[in-house]
Structure 1
């Protein structure tokens, strides 16, 4: 995978995933985070142009099959865009709904909102998601992008040392708790 060893597989919904080895020093069993994402676009060149020209990603390579871009900053995530134009997808099990970009705070998010609107994109109002604030836009190839603040974070409604031990819901979904809990798989702690 672009000079790194990896294992490609599908989950039980046929979503294609990969585990990629990197040069970073770590314990051999550590999974450090996301290497990147493959964006399936109805207009691959337009998606590449948006990421490169408006969002500032670096284009590393263009082959007959795909565009390969990389984010800036410390993480250097990889973005792969197959050149085959695909029909616009449907939301549902086995799909990824959107790709999220991290914004350090509300001010940076507002700066990006104004910039994207000036570039001609329709950007949603900022939505308070309790754990972060988010805004959304569809880029020129119809891929949905989220711009989310880093905070306040997941410790706003439970102690840090108890994170993940019980289902926490944003207030607007609390009335649906029983219905939501019925759909979740059982998890052994």
Structure 2
């Protein structure tokens, strides 16, 4: 059997002050804070994870929030936007709620036959809401897609189709922006990748409001090991496996420069917290527990409300 990627595991971005970020994603977008931990490479900074009530793969958006972060800017070689899936029948309700809350948004416009609206988070990052036919009792049914801004779409398209198993599902050009839509087989969340080429001049810069990397799902450690081997054979060697506490990860840069990760579904976010109380306590990896008091002094206060 030919192995394929089922879809996204998570997306990781950079933000400014954590309190504003938390208020927007748990308030305006009605996501659950499923993990409050630290950047494993910089424990003086939070790492916040948002997702659906079950903290399922394909719904997880994570942030490295830096209080004094400079503003980032998307450009070629970067992921430029993430899109949430609006469940069937919920799109008009979202427009009404945003208008009632005096939250500005652009649209609705249409992309590949589906309505889409775009709002901005506190750091100016575009957050897209896409109308879908999926049934769900969640206000947003996890990710619909991510957009990768490429100088040349073709090399990344070959990786996604020939190695990951995605299939072309549409092509649009409007206003100097070319989009190629690729879809993973099956019906998992976050199965869509849009490859974009734009005539607009832009030099990408990491910072608040930018996307750091895009993570794809591996259903198990065994599946991830297989991807490690297959990518090496295909000319895309990855890092060794890195333990991220809630999943194992391997990383590589796709031909256009976007940082890709393949992350395992297990062990999941309940490995160190009761599922009913995810995100309530500051969780630290074992190597930092001895420094908890110091870390808690450095981290800015964070008020979590229901």
TM range (shorter): 0.7 to 0.9
Q: Quick one: which of 121, 129, 136 aligns to 1:19? A: 129
Which residue number in structure 2 is paired with residue 124 of structure 1? 239
Q: CA deviation at 1:158?
A: 1.9
Which residue number in structure 2 is paired with residue 7 of structure 1? 117
Distance in 1 separating the partners of 2:168 and 2:134:
22
Q: CA deviation at 1:173?
A: 4.4
| Change in CA separation of 1:150 and 1:6 when aligned onto 2, cut-off 3 Å | same
| Change in CA separation of 1:80 and 1:162 when aligned onto 2, cut-off 3 Å | same
Please state if 1:137 is matched with 2:252.
yes
Distance in 2 separating the partners of 1:87 and 1:54:
29
Q: CA deviation at 1:70?
A: 0.9
Distance in 2 separating the partners of 1:180 and 1:146:
29
Q: CA deviation at 1:161?
A: 2.0
Distance in 2 separating the partners of 1:74 and 1:146:
21
Q: TM-score, normalised by structure 1?
A: 0.87
Off by >6 Å, runs of 4+ in structure 1: 85-88
Q: CA deviation at 1:180?
A: 5.6
Distance in 2 separating the partners of 1:74 and 1:25:
12
| Change in CA separation of 1:72 and 1:179 when aligned onto 2, cut-off 3 Å | farther
Please state if 1:33 is matched with 2:142.
yes
CA contact (8 A) 1:44 1:84 kept: no
Q: CA deviation at 1:89?
A: 3.4
> Within 5 Å, which residues of 2 pair with 1:1-189?
1-27=111-137, 30-64=139-173, 65-75=178-188, 77-84=191-198, 89-174=204-289, 175=291, 177-178=295-296, 181-182=299-300, 185-189=302-306
Higher RCO (C-alpha under 8 Å, 6+ residues apart): 2
Distance in 1 separating the partners of 2:206 and 2:297:
20
Distance in 2 separating the partners of 1:88 and 1:109:
33
SS at match of 2:143: coil
| Change in CA separation of 1:185 and 1:142 when aligned onto 2, cut-off 3 Å | same
Q: CA deviation at 1:111?
A: 0.5
Distance in 1 separating the partners of 2:237 and 2:216:
17
Distance in 2 separating the partners of 1:35 and 1:180:
36
Deviates more, 1:62-71 or 1:138-147: 62-71
Deviates more, 1:39-48 or 1:109-118: 39-48
CA contact (8 A) 1:41 1:88 kept: no
CA contact (8 A) 1:7 1:19 kept: yes
| Change in CA separation of 1:59 and 1:173 when aligned onto 2, cut-off 3 Å | farther
Q: TM-score, normalised by structure 2?
A: 0.56
| Change in CA separation of 1:45 and 1:6 when aligned onto 2, cut-off 3 Å | same
CA contact (8 A) 1:99 1:144 kept: yes
